[in-house]
Structure 1
Amino acid sequence: MRLILTLVAALLAAGTASAERLTLERLYADPALSGPGVRALKVSPDGARVTFLRARQDDQYQMDLWEYNMKDKTTRRLVDSKVLVPVENLSDAEKALRERARTAALKGIISYSWSPDGKQLLVPIAGNLYLVDLSKPDSARLVASGSVIDPKISPKGKYVSFVRDQNLFVIDLATGKERQLTTDGKGTVHNGEAEFVAQEEMHQFTGYYWAPDDSAIAFRWYDEAQVPVARRFEIYADRTDVVEQRYPAAGDKNAIVGLKIVSPSGGEIRDVDLGANKDIYLVRADWSKDAKSLFFQRQSRDQKTLELVAVDAATLAQRPVLTETSKTWTTISDDLRFLEGGKGFIWSSERTGRNHLYLYGMDGKLKHPISKGEWGFDDVLAVDEKAGKVFVSSNKDAVYDKQVYELKLDGSTADKPKRITQADGWHDAAFSKHGEVFVDTWSDPANPPQVAIRRPDGSLVSWLDENKVNESHPYFKYKPDLLPVEFGSMKAKDGQTLYYSMIKPYKFDASKKYPVYLSTYGGPHSQHVTRRWDGGQFDQYMAQQGYVVFRLDNRGSSRRERVFTDAIYRNLGKVEVEDQLTGIDWLGAQPYVDAKRIGVYGWSYGGFMTLRLLSQGSDKIAAGVSGAPVTDWGLYDTHYTEQFMDRPSDNPDGYKQSNVFYHVDGLKSKLLLIHGMADDNVLFTNTTKMIDALVNRGVQFELMTYPGAKHGVSNRLAKRHVQTYIDAFFRKNLHPESN
């Protein structure tokens, strides 16, 4: 049975200004259509403030640091990024880190951290490091400079730490003295940093970990000398740089990784034994509450085994704690939480086919499940030991939603979590340290993000940014034409449920037939069909141009059960294409769809999907836009590719059938290829190989490349140009009616 849930756009009150249609120029102009927006929300350690980054009114990509005072309910800007650093000059290391963290488009203050007493903030900007006293924020103190990355205040507040020139440093805040803790960082050797695949695929944006009592720092050491060099050209408008990047493609050797411990006062650096097999992934490291034990997570090269190992900080003696195994791949998580007084730890596992929480003793013996049943959670948000509660996010009640739920630590509510957030849609939550309050950022397709401070029962404390679309809001004059988003479901070939979203065209007339703009991603670790605000509003724009706008999450997409995600194992693209074609067949059967005017767009994995869909479904798809596509999985990095495909030597037929070139003879539709000419993630070689394959087959196509652009094409003018080109391409090939 097909479930249809229609979200009707909210009507504005009578007497509002006349509506205006969206334009591509307005999508990328200031101020942002979503409103001021906030990011990096944090509750201060003393619970007195909520801090956040907010874009400037005149530049939606320039971030300043703000605070909301919980006592007097006032909001003020703490640090003006342009006053602190008028002109930014970023190091190559900082640029690379931002590219991995998907913040390359942002300027100003990108991150910050609290001191443990809640009186100071550590603010990095453009390679410099400032300490901001809350009592006099206008007098920010420069504490370090010179290409500083990954700065932190130690847990007890005695030190500031950071990485510079591939070595680890600390500053004693009592004396102001800077100390270099490692000295061998140079060339291919790095200290306190995460290697490329750890940043890109394991979400490890830090490479060192403070003991909770400030007594020691555990840090990653790696040497990438054995990683093959990908010699590539970064083509800019006025120059060409030859870059020799250590890039481990599928089947290649990875960096050799180590884990070490050092005192912040310097002295001996001690090596933690990661095992005889050096061809492993160090995926996480954490300290116990009493700082007596360091725990690390070790994943096998084939990613079918994940081990948690405890190390005695004094003697370095080790003991295995627990092991997860899978016939496909084990999933890395950030859900390890240690309880006070050695009472145990919380651990997440997908061993039942759903992601659930478990309570273990420090000896590694399972006490009981904290959650169970036919649902799964996304993340652990907070643990309130005093109240015996764990707060998690989940899509338990609607696959395309995100809500906050409460579970009991004792397992008594394992199969019946209590829902805390109530409004349907998408809730991103940032809790205080022990769960006393949380900041709730909510949106749905009709409402841009609204930020509220709430108690752990979900009740409202105060609005931080209600962001109502009233006369002063940037979206006010466009909202009358905001089109409703419909959500529904259909069945895959194996009977599993696939969810979709759809926007019908402006001034929809059921007696007419419309072209389709199908947007896809299709890859693992991502969900494309979500009930939240579309910050870019490009889907709304395309619907206003006369398209049926459609998305479908195929098998392999995230936030589902393992039988759904595991379907892609060892043959990327097979079931994903099957499911998208199921969606296209369903669209073609709708009386208001012109089945001869269906177009597909995708970027990155979505670019790969577009090429595979055109190659296998040109009889059903008139045109496609493929942005930054992976065309040959042998060219993509080890951790991501081998997770789903194994090594090329172990699965040669799977690699052959997964690559675009195996199917490309079937590509007959109109095609636009797009790629940034300095992409260090999906290398430009993927597209040059595709160009060669198409030329050799006599296939005509369009090509647009962007000088200096990385994987995300983050430059605002370039992004607008991309969307303008896509709009023109589909307009030319699908001929939407002008409304």
Structure 2
Amino acid sequence: MKRIALFFLLASSLGSYAQRNLNLEETVFGPRTYAPTSIVGASWIPKSSTISYLDKSYQNLLSKSSTNNWSETTLASKADLETALKAAIPNDAFSLRMFPFEYKWHDGNSLLLQVEGKDKTYTVTYNIQSKTIESFIGNDNKGANREVSSDFSKIAYLVENNIEIIDKNGKITAVTDDSNKGIVNGSDYTHRQEFGIKKGMWWSNQNDKLLYYRKDETMVANYPLPQWSSRIADIKWIKYPMAGQKSEEVSLVVYDTKTGQKVTLQTGEHTEQYLTMVTWDPSGKYIYVGLLNRGQNDLKVNKYNAENGSLIKTLFEETATTWVEPESPLTFLPNKPDQFLYQSDKDGYNQLYLYNTNGNLIKKLGYKDIVMETLLDFSADGNKVSYTGVTNNGLDRQLFEVDLKSGKTIQLTHESGMHHAALSDDGKYIYDQYSNLKTPNKVQIKNVKSAKETTLVNAENPFTGKINDPKIEFVQLTSADGKYPLTGRIIYPNDFDPAKKYPVMYYLYGGSHSQLVSNKWLGGAGYFDMYMAQQGYIVFTMDNRGTNYRGRDFYTATHRNLGQNEMADQMKGIEFLKSKSFVDQQRMGIFGWSFGGFMTTSFMLHHNDIFKAAVAGGPVIDWKYYEVMYGERYMDTPQENPEGYKLTSLLNKANQLKGRLLIIHGAQDPVVVQQNSMEFLEACIKAGKQVDYFLYPTHEHNVMGKDRIHMYEKIADYFNQHLKNPS
């Protein structure tokens, strides 16, 4: 017995030493390998208290229901679906890798699925009771941006820059036939997908009219992206409207499938405006469009006649001294077709407003200082709507429900953390998945009335027994103007000893619509952050003014002077680190990508005595080289804001560079074009400053796939060379 006990003691001891650090490959693929246990693809089945989801193998669709005490049942399988597809569509071939990940419930018995055959992509309705395909419609796999009518009778799709429609009988109709590639129809890449644009075509509720963007970018400057694969290098030309230069001209066109006639909405003569928030009226008679001026400080919500394109009226107007940024289309109430929800931060926080179709404000539906992040579902009777709201100074996400008549709002989830939650159709149950810094993942069903909880998943730490789990803490600081609490995240090295001194990797982004620190598992840290901590670095990150989810005043503080208040706030994080005895102030490095690359380079010039080494990926160097839609929102044009552009440009500050700076750029970057870093290199040469530079020839703005491992190895080696093992 003593020998057996000794064996288990040794095995336990060896097991504890089996834990290791992440390797470089796991910095890219580790999130997949070490993901906490969860439930995938969860969705409430309509008109029921049954939740559906995919099994761990992604081969079967399962369910749990209140009627059987939340026990597990199989609803459908990949094999059954393949059999049904082959029976219904025998002229094509199907070999599904898994049950379709993005499924939707068409009704309580049928699923709406998109599947790919050998020749076509199909939208099908699959009955889980009869295991048969009830209806299907498909188009050639080469067709892009496919939009299926709600009655599944037609699909609109793109072939290069033109729109085609195919009906259930296979008849193809060419909607547009523009031979000039500078005229782009129906593309979701209109206005460079700013202003919440995710679609380029919209079917009316009656499925007889198709509304689409027509983008004329013939007047926009061509920009060259060198291609290195051919014996003689070639050029790929893209359209890239730089700040202050000529931008694209966009219109909205209605195509009538019955008559073949087209009508262009009369959106005015101001051709360099932005058309967004595109929404059909439930009746199909009207179209609502947000007209935003190029200055992005004046938004008109307009109502148009869908028959002749005429402007009926401006429902209301929103202006700002900084910018107005529409992000969502109107949402009509299911039981009141003359009322809709409008999202705006005009009163300080992104919240809901209830309007009627005459443009009259019925009720403000905002709740305290809660920022509405995601609008969810209406209750079965249409009298309430739920949404995900941001709490705890931007760190948490909670589920809220508001009564549209009274305006009363209730918070339905409460545990501190990031909740992904949804109400059942009958409003009786909440499906709630959440994590926080200490909780890898918890999934539960909550009874709204009784508050009884049924736990479906309570995930263990996925690193236990496998990977060294670095200590992560939140740090509370105050913005440079003294107005706002800021949250930082610090990751400590293995076996941290406060009596020792450690090098630092300061990782930042800092730009609009971002958040790097949040109250979820690992605090929002990436696996490369963890890797560097395991290599012996203090890794620190903080969200400054200008980032998201803290209200309008917080993120507009950077207007016309990008990088300045952001650096002032980040200095508070730097001061915090310098106050710690375990930080080696002589071995501090900084790393950021894109806007973070701009911030990294800015620190190496504006505050050049702090960081000994830096890595700037895809950095903006001068905002005059950035595109119109994003750049002019925050900086206005170079003509309107010459002092701001001069102050934020890094070209005229190259002579201030100290320390080691590695710039990484993708040669095919269509977002932050390589001209930014090339111009900075030339400025450094003229100033006699040494810069390290590395180019990824085939990558765009981000280095993806296996090549990302190469990139992280390069960054780690650079910091090790200059910070951890200085020569």
Is the TM-score greater than 0.5? yes
Q: Output the CA distance in 2 between the equivalents of 1:145 and 1:698.
A: 57
AA at the equivalent of 2:173: R
The amino acid of 2:61's aligned partner reads E
Equivalent residue for 1:575, pick from 552, 565, 580? 565
Equivalence map 1:254-333=2 (5 Å): 254-265=247-258, 267-317=260-310, 318-333=312-327
Higher mean C-alpha deviation, range 358-367 or range 71-80? 71-80
Measured in 1, the distance between the counterparts of 2:454 and 2:132 equals: 24
Does the alignment pair 1:78 with 2:78? Answer: yes
Query: Is 1:517 aligned with 2:505?
Result: yes
Distance 1:351 1:335 in 2: 16
Q: Does the aligned pair in 2 maintain the 1:505–1:545 contact within 8 Å?
A: yes
The reply to whether residue 468 of structure 1 matches residue 459 of structure 2 is yes
Mapping for residues 128-277 of structure 1, pairs under 5 Å: 128-135=120-127, 143-173=138-168, 175-184=169-178, 186-199=180-193, 201-235=194-228, 240-265=233-258, 267-277=260-270
Q: Identify the residue that residue 668 of structure 1 maps to in structure 2.
A: 658
Distance 1:80 1:576 in 2: 55
Alpha carbons of structure 1 residues 367 and 205: separation in structure 2 relative to 1, 3 Å: closer
Change (3 A) 1:719 1:271: same
Which residue type is aligned with residue 322 of structure 1?
A: F
Give 1:524-673 correspondences, 5 Å limit. 524-533=512-521, 534=524, 536-673=526-663
Q: Which runs of 5+ in 2 are unaligned?
A: 1-11, 66-71, 85-96
Mapped to 2, the partners of 1:266 and 1:628 lie a distance apart of: 49
Shift in Å, 1:276: 2.1
Question: Does the CA contact (< 8 Å) of 1:191 and 1:219 recur in 2?
Answer: yes
- Aligned-pair distance for 1:343? 4.4
> What amino acid sits opposite 1:444 in the alignment?
N
1:48–1:69 Cα contact (<8 Å) kept: no
Return the TM-score normalized by structure 1.
0.84
Distance 1:270 1:557, change over 3 A: same
What SS does the corresponding residue of 1:342 show, helix, strand or coil? strand
Q: Give the C-alpha shift of residue 736 in structure 1.
A: 7.3
- The one-letter amino acid paired with 1:660 is L
Per the alignment, do residues 439 and 604 of structure 1 end up closer, same or farther by CA in structure 2, a change over 3 Å counting?
farther
The 3 A distance-change label for structure 1 pair 623 and 149 is: same
Deviation, 1:82, is: 13
Q: Distance in 2 between matches of 1:654 and 1:354?
A: 26
TM-score (norm 2): 0.85
In structure 2, C-alpha distance between the alignment counterparts of 1:700 and 1:630, rounded to whole Å:
19
Q: Shift of residue 267 of structure 1?
A: 0.9
> How large is the RMSD of aligned CA atoms in angstroms?
3.6
- Across the two proteins, how many residue pairs are aligned to each other? 686
Corresponding position of 1:727: 716
Q: Partners of 1:52 and 1:179 in 2: how far apart?
A: 38
Matches of 1:434 and 1:272, distance apart in 2: 40
* CA shift in 2, pair 1:719/1:692, >3 Å: same
Relative to 1, partners in 2 of residues 1:215 and 1:111: Cα closer, same or farther, differing over 3 Å?
farther
Aligned-pair distance for 1:45? 5.8
For residues 368-399 of structure 1, the C-alpha deviation after alignment (integer angstroms, 9 at most, x for no partner) is 21114333222322232726322122222342
Residues 1:453 and 1:306: Cα distance change in structure 2 (over 3 Å): farther
Equivalent in the alignment of 1:443: 435
SS at match of 1:357: strand
Distance in 2 between the 1:535 and 1:362 partners? 45
* 1:481 corresponds to: 469
Task: After TM superposition, give the deviation of residue 146 of structure 1 in Å.
Answer: 4.7
Q: Deviations over 1:59-100 (max 9, x none)?
A: xxxxx786334565337663899999xxxxxxxxxxxxxxxx
Work out whether residues 51 and 63 of structure 2, in 8 Å CA contact, stay in contact via their aligned partners in 1: yes
- Which residues of 2 match residues 285-434 of structure 1 at below 5 A? 285-317=278-310, 318-334=312-328, 336-339=330-333, 340-384=335-379, 386=381, 388-413=383-408, 417-429=409-421
- What are the Cα deviations for residues 167-210 of structure 1, in whole angstroms up to 9, with x where unaligned? 2233323x3433332333641112211345332x2342310111
Distance change >3 Å, CA 645–CA 357, structure 1 → 2: same
CA displacement at 1:248 relative to structure 2: 0.7
Deviations 1:569-598 (A, max 9, x none): 111111111111222122111222122221
| 1:119 Cα deviation from its structure 2 partner | 3.7
Aligned to 1:34: 35
Are the aligned partners of 1:195 and 1:255 in contact in 2 as well (CA < 8 Å)? no
Residues 693-739 of structure 1: CA deviation (Å, up to 9, x unaligned): 22222222222211201111112x211111111111111222179xx
Q: Cα deviation per residue 1:516-559 (whole Å; 9 max; x = unaligned)?
A: 21110011111122122347422222222222211111111111
* Aligned ranges 1:87-98 → 2 under 5 Å: none
1:491 to 479, 493, 498: 479
1:68 aligns with 2:62: yes
Counterpart in the other structure of 2:692: 702
Distance 1:281 1:458 in 2: 48
The letter for the 2-side match of 1:353 is: G
Q: CA deviation at 1:613?
A: 0.6
Deviation, 1:224, is: 0.8
Deviation at 1:37, TM superposition (A): 7.1
One-letter amino acid matched to 1:727: A
Hey, what's the Cα distance between the residues in 2 that align with 1:627 and 1:195?
24
Contact 1:570–1:646, Cα closer than 8 Å, also in 2: yes
Name the structure 2 match of 1:24: 24
Q: Relative contact order: is structure 1 or structure 2 higher (C-alpha 8 Å, sep ≥ 6)? A: 1
Q: For the residues of structure 2 that align with 1:127 and 1:693, how far apart are their CA atoms?
A: 53
Matches of 1:54 and 1:659, distance apart in 2: 52
Q: Secondary structure at the match of 2:173?
A: strand
Provide structure 1 residue ranges, at least 5 long, that are not aligned to the other structure. 1-12, 57-63, 85-106
SS in 2 for 1:134: strand
- Report how far residue 290 of structure 1 moved: 2.7
Deviations along 1:225-277, one digit per CA (max 9) or x if unpaired, are 01111122144598744111111111122211111112334510111111121
Alpha-carbon distance between aligned partners in 1 of 2:382 and 2:448, rounded to the nearest angstrom? 11
Report the CA distance shift for 1:205/1:346 in structure 2 as closer, same or farther (over 3 A): closer
Looking at structure 2, the residues matched to 220 and 422 of structure 1 have their Cα atoms a distance apart, in angstroms, of 42
Cα 1:161/1:430, change in 2 over 3 Å: farther
How far off its partner does 1:356 sit?
A: 2.2
1:650 match: secondary structure: coil
**Is the contact between residue 470 and residue 533 of structure 2 (CA under 8 Å) also seen in structure 1?**
no
| CA deviation after TM superposition for structure 1 residue 116, in Å | 4.1
**Which AA in structure 2 matches 1:376?**
V
Deviations 1:440-459 (A, max 9, x none): 44333455555666677797
Distance 1:423 1:227, change over 3 A: same
Q: What is the SS of the residue equivalent to 2:377?
A: strand
Question: Which letter does structure 2 place at the counterpart of 1:572?
Answer: L
SS at match of 2:669: coil
Whole-Å separation in 2 of the counterparts to 1:395 and 1:443: 15
Say if 1:426 and 1:443, in contact at 8 Å, map to a contact too.
yes
> 2: CA distance between counterparts of 1:258 and 1:122?
30
| Sequence identity percentage | 28
Deviates more, 1:658-667 or 1:521-530: 658-667
Q: Which has the larger radius of gyration?
A: 2
Higher mean C-alpha deviation, range 337-346 or range 553-562: 337-346
Shift of 1:114: 4.3
Q: Compared with structure 1, are the counterparts of its residues 719 and 222 closer, same or farther at alpha carbon in structure 2 (3 Å cutoff)?
A: same
